Copies of this chain bind each other. A is one copy, B any other.
Amino acid sequence: MRSDPQRLSFEIEARDGSARAGVIHTAHGPIETPAFIPLATKGSVRALESAEVGELGYQLILGNTYHLFVSPGPERIAAAGGLHGFMNWTQAIITDSGGFQVFSLAHGGVADEVKGSGRSGGHGSEVEISEEGARFRSPRDGAELFISPEVSMSVQAQLGSDIALVFDECTPFHADRDYTARSTERTHRWLERCLAWHGEHGPERQAVFGIVQGGTHEDLRRESAQAISAAGVDGIAIGGTLGRDKEEMASVLAMTAPLLPVEAPKHLLGIGEVDDLLGGIALGLDVFDCAVPTRLARHGVALAPSPETRWRLNMRKGGWAGNREPLVEGCPCPACRCHDRDYISYLSRAEELTAVRLIVLHNLTYMRELTTGARQAIKNGTFASYRAAVLAGSPPWAAGEGGRDTP
């Protein structure tokens, strides 16, 4: 670990068990933690203006290096003053390294999703991984593209994010132990190359987070945790497969989290279901990015305090006609303050864009309430009861004494 407050500093304000409430200070302001990070994958948060994301209470968004590399390209974004200028977003930005998308193309994983964004289904499947980096075809036009640790860091430098993530191989669940071990070792060699490039060429005020890999194997996670912790990084992300189901994920995280330096800000990559996020917070993880809240909105699914349906309320299915309740009683979002399920379900089934927007506003408000509530509960020393209340079906703003309405 290195620690240069010019780039980034992390202040832990309160602890409750392993959970902690803190502030990550970046070149573009503070991030109060625990925090959920909305995705601005291609440079916008779905159906929202940049200013609105801040108005919802968010201080950090995630831009996607792979997608922005493919289009519009880093030069165009750099010319606009980086991603901050391009989007006119004044608070902090974290960029992923592109590794997840590239290796999804290679390994299957989320390949369908990634290919779905391209013009041709055929381009994406050819990825050639070597020690040097990954060569693949643009899903946009089939052009050959190459990402290496140096290219990823260079693109992230052009994007000008406050926090860059190192280029790693995101090993999938179906990789065997031997492949995972060799891949994790390569990820560590790539980490050194990322830091070397960044030390020489990276923006002075850009922080770098390393990524712990190792799949579901305790010894590999331990080795990886040691390698990342010993490197000169400003924070640590947990990546790679966390297993086949929620139970295995919980156990891989419970095994990995304690291996990491307590004082480091920690990012759990790609996880943002309500229960998983609370589980991560309990283990001392600080920030969480996830496509789910905005992706669900596109499919008409609102977040709601219903553990039995994984916190999902499907407004596309039938049965909501005449229902005068808001999506969630007591929710402070514009959708819940102004509209009922009758209207939102009709709009969603009619595929009106207004429905997507209303549910995005709701889901991001819900996630922000969830982390704000967790933060307050940690400060109150009541995180366990807050978590239990949410898991039992309480909305975050009413989750017992940990809720935001109590001192």
Contact = CB atoms under 8 A, between A and B. Distances in A.
Contacts of A46: 352-354
A44 B88 contact: no
A48 B354 CA distance: 6
A334 B343 CA distance: 26
Contact of A357 (B321, B334, B350, B353): B353
Interface in A33-88: 42-51, 71-72, 76, 79-80, 86-88
A63 B181 CA distance: 62
Nearest to A73: B321
B88 A43 contact: no
A379 to B, nearest CB: 34
Nearest to A47: B353
Contacts of A321: 72, 76
B354 A45 contact: yes
A40 to B, nearest CB: 9
Nearest to A340: B80
A127 interface: no
B88 A354 contact: no
A176 to B, nearest CB: 37
A355 B343 CA distance: 24
Q: Indicate how many identical chains form the complex.
A: 2
Contacts of A350: 42-43, 71
A144 to B, nearest CB: 21
A88 B46 CA distance: 23
A358 B49 CA distance: 7
A346 to B, nearest CB: 5
A342 interface: yes
A352 B340 CA distance: 26
A338 interface: yes
Contacts of A51: 334, 338
B352 A43 contact: yes
A44 B352 contact: yes
A47 B354 contact: yes
Contact of A44 (B47, B50, B80, B354): B354
Given A50-B338, A339-B88, A72 B353 contact: no
A86 B338 contact: no
Contacts of A80: 322, 324, 340, 342-343
Interface in A342-364: 342-343, 346-347, 349-350, 352-358
Interface string A194-206: 0000000000000
A49 B357 contact: yes
Contact of A353 (B71, B79, B346, B356): B356
A384 to B, nearest CB: 38
A354 B163 CA distance: 24
Nearest to A355: B44
A87 B48 CA distance: 20
Contacts of A71: 346, 349-350
A342 B88 CA distance: 12
Given A80-B342, A86-B342, A342-B80, A44 B334 contact: no
Interface string A212-224: 0000000000000
A21 to B, nearest CB: 32
Interface string A138-166: 00000000000000000000000000000
Given A42-B352, A44-B355, A86-B343, 12 more contacts: A42-B347, A42-B350, A43-B350, A49-B334, A49-B358, A76-B322, A76-B346, A79-B322, A80-B342, A80-B343, A86-B342, A353-B353
12 contacts: A43-B352, A44-B355, A49-B335, A49-B354, A50-B339, A71-B346, A71-B350, A72-B346, A80-B342, A86-B343, A88-B338, A357-B357
